[in-house]
Amino acid sequence: TQLLEQSPQFLSIQEGENLTVYCNSSSVFSSLQWYRQEPGEGPVLLVTVVTGGEVKKLKRLTFQFGDARKDSSLHITAAQPGDTGLYLCAGYYGGATNKLIFGTGTLLAVQP
Amino acid sequence: DTAVSQTPKYLVTQMGNDKSIKCEQNLGHDTMYWYKQDSKKFLKIMFSYNNKELIINETVPNRFSPKSPDKAHLNLHINSLELGDSAVYFCASSPTRAYRSNYGYTFGSGTRLTVV
């Protein structure tokens, strides 16, 4: 059982459409992070959400942390081909060692 | 100036061989990690070192041995390579106790290992 489940797994949309990616867990996280990974590269941090109910905006990307701090969402408005990539949520888990655990990933393709 | 650099970028080798992947970071971070990304793009932590001390050792075959000569370097040596070891291996770094201040990790660009 994965600690962080993302949906959908794959998403192919046309340029200009809106989309939402979900990250769900049965565990409470002190914070959640979102990364984007492009082909041949490592994940790059987009944002960290810390407080339950928090909403952060990064240009056309809106990130929300659930009130109970068990889930998060990423909404992209008017998607562009440059948004194409693998989106990963991640949370610190594990007591003293607090390793960063990644979600199952959402592969987004935005067609021009 | 690359923050976290891994070498080599690609590694193709035969079953049974021994290989190493090197990682260096110039961010001044105290903690470094190895992650494995499988064919389904799932990223799983393998090891973590803090100031040359092993602090995370997940359920990884003991054919995998990390070595950290100093806090800026973390290498991964793999003995007796198997077909199932084929994956992309990522090195990452972060400040110590990144979870307390919600720092993210900085990743290298990965090493694609193919065992034939």
Partner-chain residue, chosen from B44, B56, B92, that has the shortest CB–CB distance to A97: B56
Nearest of A44, A35, A37, A100 to residue B4 by alpha carbon:
A44
pLDDT in the model for residue A97: 63
pLDDT in the model for residue B58: 86
Tell me which range, B2-16, B38-52, B53-67, is most confidently predicted by mean pLDDT: B2-16
- The predicted-structure confidence for B59-96, as pLDDT tens digits, reads as follows 789 999 999 999 999 999 999 999 999 999 999 999 87
Nearest CA in chain A to B49: A97
Q: Which one of A102, A104, A106 would you mutate to disrupt binding with B, by most B Cβ within 10 Å of its Cβ?
A: A102
pLDDT in the model for residue A1: 54
- The predicted-structure confidence for A47-99, as pLDDT tens digits, reads as follows 999 889 999 999 999 999 999 999 999 999 999 999 999 999 999 876 656 68
Do residues A22 and A71 make contact, with C-beta atoms less than 8 angstroms apart? Answer: yes
Do residues A83 and A11 make contact, with C-beta atoms less than 8 angstroms apart? Answer: no
Does A33 reach chain B within 8 Å, measured CB to CB? yes
Nearest of B88, B43, B26, B23 to residue A36 by alpha carbon:
B43
The backbone torsions φ and ψ at residue B84, rounded to the nearest 5 degrees and listed phi first, read: -70, -5
Kindly tell me if the per-residue pLDDT of A19 is higher than 60: yes
pLDDT in the model for residue B8: 97
Mean pLDDT rounded to a whole number for chain B: 92
Do residues A104 and A24 make contact, with C-beta atoms less than 8 angstroms apart? Answer: no
Do residues B102 and A51 make contact, with C-beta atoms less than 8 angstroms apart? Answer: no
Whole-angstrom distance, CA of residue B114 vs CA of residue B12: 5
The pLDDT > 90 percentage for chain B reads 78
Nearest CA in chain B to A90: B104
**How far is the alpha carbon of A40 from chain B, nearest alpha carbon, in Å?**
7
Average pLDDT over residues A27-31: 86
Neighbours of A17 (CB within 10 A): 13
- Element housing A35 (H / E): strand A32-37
**How far is the alpha carbon of A33 from chain B, nearest alpha carbon, in Å?**
7
Label each residue of chain B as H, E or C: CCCEEEECCEEEECCCCCEEEEEEECCCCCEEEEEEECCCCCEEEEEEEECCEEEEECCCCCCEEEEEEECCEEEEEECCCCHHHCEEEEEEEECCCHHHHCCCCEECCCEEEEEC
- The predicted-structure confidence for B26-39, as pLDDT tens digits, reads as follows 999 999 999 999 99
Whole-angstrom distance, CA of residue A37 vs CA of residue A105: 10
Kindly compute the dihedral angle of the four CA atoms of residues B98, B99, B104, B106, in this order, to the nearest 10 degrees: 40
Which residues in chain B touch residue A104, judged by CB atoms under 8 angstroms apart?
40, 42
CB pairs under 8 A between A and B: 63
pLDDT in the model for residue B102: 72
Q: Of residues B50 and A42, which shows the higher confidence score?
A: A42
Nearest of B108, B82, B91, B111 to residue B10 by alpha carbon:
B111
pLDDT in the model for residue A92: 82
Average pLDDT over residues B19-48: 95
The verdict on a CB contact (< 8 Å) between A42 and B42 is: no
Nearest CA in chain B to A32: B102
pLDDT in the model for residue B111: 98
Whole-angstrom distance, CA of residue B94 vs CA of residue A73: 24
